[in-house]
Structure 1
């Protein structure tokens, strides 16, 4: 009976060992990876510092880029502000320039008006007294229009009068307008028959009459009376008693000179003669 019990126990133990062996093999088969798949390995601890350094560098780079972007944005805003300021200043400068031009134009017009008024007043004073300190002409010169005239008593040849007038910073008398004709001819009246050389001459008989500056003689203004009493060339013109005569240029006649009038002396308008 005991032997039978022992045999039965031994069989159970053998079966138990067999089951455990099978279970162990099954577990091993379950844990074994499938063909073509490898089990992932855990990251090595040596790469962790490198990754940390790279991450730090990335953060530094991002911060640097952000700072650079901020600086660029501030510079862009500053540039726009400066450009706006420059545009505003250019606009103001343009406005000031236009205002300055307008003021200069007004100043010029005012100066012209003042000059005309002063000239008119001075001319009235001059015509009343025959001479005034405001006159734009030198002393003893006659003021007419925009010219000053002087009829000298010295007698010279035509060329001598030319040089004489040049020495007086003037030129020989030129009668090219009706106004000058009406002014100059009365100066030629003399009880002693003193005539005055003019700047009118010609370069030989039959040539055109020309003034000193090359301007042509106008037949409508006055007639030149040819002096047939002289056997010499008659290529220079004198005025006597309101008439013009052609004379020999070597004859001695008085000199008549003219020059441009200066500016009316405003500060002397109130001064007595």
Structure 2
């Protein structure tokens, strides 16, 4: 009986152990998903700060882009404003430049008009007195047209007169217009046959007559009287008593020089005008 009880208890213990073992296995099986779920949730909690940081960086980047866009917009507006201002200034500068050019043109025209009036008045005074301080020519020089003339009493060869005129900052007399001819020929009248060298010459009898600057002589203005009895290697022209003669360039004749007239001395007109208006 004891043996039967003992075997029965052993069987119960064995069943209990089996039951406990099955319960333990079931408990372990039921607990594994919870551990897996716990392990699955841990990475999610770890990425939250990273995601928050990335979101913050994105917001900062968006704010920076917005600020950059605002700055670019302001710079664009400022650039357009400055460009408009530059265009306006360039337009004003162009208008001022045109006005200045117009004033310069008017000033030049006024100066030319003043010069013509002063020259006309000075010429009237000069023709009345034969000499005036307003004359654009040096002292003792004769004013005619736009040139100054001087007929010297010194006698020299043709080349000597050339050097003499150069020393006086002038050239030898050139008769190339009717006005100059009508002015110069009366200066050649002399009771003692003093003729004046001109700047007209030629190298030989077969060559053309040329003035000192290389321009040709015009026979329509005056004729040159040539002495055919004497042959020379070089001929030069003198004027005497309203006529032109071919002479040996080595002969001694008086010098006639010319130079361009300067500006009329306007300030020298004030004194005669004040006396004239009194």
Report if TM-score (shorter chain) is over 0.5: yes
Aligned ranges for residues 123-162 of structure 1 at < 5 Å? 123-162=123-162
1:201 aligns with 2:201: yes
1:73 is paired with a residue whose SS is: helix
Shift of 1:271: 3.3
Deviates more, 1:123-132 or 1:100-109: 100-109
- Could you tell me how far apart the structure 2 residues matched to 1:91 and 1:55 are? 53
Write 1 or 2 for the structure with the bigger share of helix: 2
C-alpha contact (below 8 Å) 2:137/2:143 kept by paired residues: yes
Aligned ranges for residues 16-55 of structure 1 at < 5 Å? 44-55=44-55
2:155 is paired with a residue whose SS is: strand
Shift of 1:231: 5.8
Q: Which residue of 2 aligns with 1:7?
A: none
Q: Which residue of 1 aligns with 2:263?
A: 263
**Structure 1: gaps of 5 or more residues:** 1-40
C-alpha contact (below 8 Å) 2:203/2:233 kept by paired residues: no
Distance 1:48 1:180, change over 3 A: same
Distance 1:143 1:166, change over 3 A: same
Question: How many corresponding residue pairs?
Answer: 234
Aligned ranges for residues 1-273 of structure 1 at < 5 Å? 44-228=44-228, 230=230, 232=232, 235-272=235-272
- Could you tell me how far apart the structure 2 residues matched to 1:48 and 1:160 are? 117
C-alpha contact (below 8 Å) 1:227/1:234 kept by paired residues: no
- Could you tell me how far apart the structure 2 residues matched to 1:124 and 1:222 are? 29
- Could you tell me how far apart the structure 1 residues matched to 2:259 and 2:95 are? 44
- Could you tell me how far apart the structure 2 residues matched to 1:244 and 1:80 are? 80
Q: Deviations over 1:1-44 (max 9, x none)?
A: xxxxxxxxxxxxxxxxxxxxxxxxxxxxxxxxxxxxxxxx7683
- Could you tell me how far apart the structure 1 residues matched to 2:166 and 2:85 are? 61
TM-score w.r.t. the length of structure 1 is 0.82
2:214 is paired with a residue whose SS is: coil
C-alpha contact (below 8 Å) 2:204/2:232 kept by paired residues: no
C-alpha contact (below 8 Å) 2:238/2:245 kept by paired residues: yes
C-alpha contact (below 8 Å) 2:201/2:211 kept by paired residues: yes
C-alpha contact (below 8 Å) 1:185/1:243 kept by paired residues: yes
C-alpha contact (below 8 Å) 1:198/1:238 kept by paired residues: yes
**Structure 2: gaps of 5 or more residues:** 1-39
TM-score w.r.t. the length of structure 2 is 0.80
- Could you tell me how far apart the structure 1 residues matched to 2:88 and 2:231 are? 84
Shift of 1:49: 1.8
* Cα RMSD (Å): 1.8
Segments of 4+ moved more than 6 angstroms: none
Shift of 1:98: 1.0
Shift of 1:200: 0.4
C-alpha contact (below 8 Å) 1:234/1:246 kept by paired residues: no
